[in-house]
Chains A and B, each alone.
Chain A
């Protein structure tokens, strides 16, 4: 989660994400995923905590992101493990929309 030193980073315009969609965003040597589910935006780390596969190739099932390699699952609202071989949670990040711009707090 964000700390006192965190800042809002511009990601893209809001129309980059459709409903029930997700996208990769790389910044500062790290990688993240932004999601849009039921009109709400979420963001998590981009790499699975099990064996560091990128979740951009995964499957979004409601609020669950499933890893493409071994199907470990995380709840994108909390980052908590939600099944499969994973047992370490994902970090989550705040997302905001200003005008037609999408920002992530890092």
Chain B
């Protein structure tokens, strides 16, 4: 029997390299997917150092009377706290950050608590995001309406959408009243983990609130305020992953975006700007994504140019869409149905919603 005959039919189709017509030699992928603790431990040490330094800077500003300096330092700490907490939570949900399992699981908890999602829910909902990337009704991580409007952008980037959605998930899961979506991606015998995970998280968040109410102002100064201010920075990173791209495509090349960013951006985001590459081969850890990018370079679209530039283009598109204007971006990669020309817009043409969130 040929290796790809009958058993192939039993393999569940998922959005990966195979469904995107991308292929690399199996041995090369295996080599890229090799695990080591060292890169993530070095990254972790650099993160903790950056947190300590930016935390100290914030402390220094508390001695000045400048609110602006204080807020700038809080934003700096918040960005360093929040973007990496998302990134490490994501990498550890995959289990690819460290070779050693307990390091992965510990960092999954810390990262997810800071990011504001129960760790097991994070892991299971993310599996569905990989199986059905950007498929309406199947992908459990499509947080905003597509095509995106200015209202959707504001809800997303402010963090309001995230807080509302995750608060509901915490409450439901802690009570054991799982949504059909959660039941859809979580094996029945694992729901208990999600319930107790949600309860543990609520206990930790409640403890922080009680400390704050009892006058422990450090909770606000060094944790809550920076987390709130850093949230939009994190969400500007995550927004770029799929916004303006095609829903319901088997090809990751059509549904997902990679973008270039500075060394600091790549460090904060653990190289997840190589997002197409990550979805093609999710078994490859963050520290090998640059090599993977080079390996698939001639099979994937070029990355969009720059974190700020790409975000400004997205914002420009969503503003124009909300004003009933043309939505063709200059450099941003967009799915064909996202684009309405200025002439069509004048005649009242709009892109119908492919996906509506229920907040």
- Let me know if B14 and A51 touch, CB within 8 A: yes
- Let me know if A69 and B6 touch, CB within 8 A: no
A-side contacts of B124, CB under 8 Å: 85
Please name the residue on chain B nearest to A68 by beta carbon: B283
Answer yes or no: A30 CB below 8 A from chain B CBs: yes
* B100 CB, min distance to chain A CBs, angstroms: 10
B-side contacts of A85, CB under 8 Å: 123-124, 127, 187, 190
Stretch from B25-33, B53-61, B77-85, B267-275 contacting the other chain: B25-33
- Let me know if A59 and B30 touch, CB within 8 A: yes
Contact with A along B6-32 (1 / 0, CB 8 A): 110011101010000000001001100
- Let me know if B6 and A29 touch, CB within 8 A: yes
- Could you tell me which B residues sit within 8 Å of A by CB distance? 1-3, 5-7, 10-12, 14, 16, 26, 29-30, 33-35, 94-96, 99, 101, 104-105, 123-124, 126-127, 130-131, 187, 189-190, 281-283
A97 to B127, CA, bound (A): 38
Please name the residue on chain A nearest to B186 by beta carbon: A85
A contact patch SS? loop
B-side contacts of A59, CB under 8 Å: 30, 33-35, 283
A94 to B147, CA, bound (A): 54
- Let me know if B7 and A31 touch, CB within 8 A: yes
Pairs of residues from A and B, 9 with the lowest C-beta to C-beta distance, nearest first: A31-B7, A52-B12, A70-B127, A59-B33, A71-B95, A68-B283, A29-B6, A87-B187, A51-B12
Beyond A47-B10, A68-B16, 15 additional contacts (C-beta under 8 Å) are A29-B6, A47-B11, A51-B127, A57-B26, A58-B283, A61-B35, A66-B95, A68-B282, A69-B127, A69-B130, A70-B127, A71-B95, A73-B95, A73-B101, A83-B104
* A99 CB, min distance to chain B CBs, angstroms: 24
- Let me know if A26 and B95 touch, CB within 8 A: no
- Let me know if B11 and A71 touch, CB within 8 A: no
Q: List 15 A-B contacts (CB under 8 A).
A: A24-B3, A26-B7, A29-B7, A47-B11, A51-B14, A53-B12, A59-B34, A59-B35, A68-B16, A68-B282, A69-B283, A70-B127, A70-B130, A71-B95, A87-B189
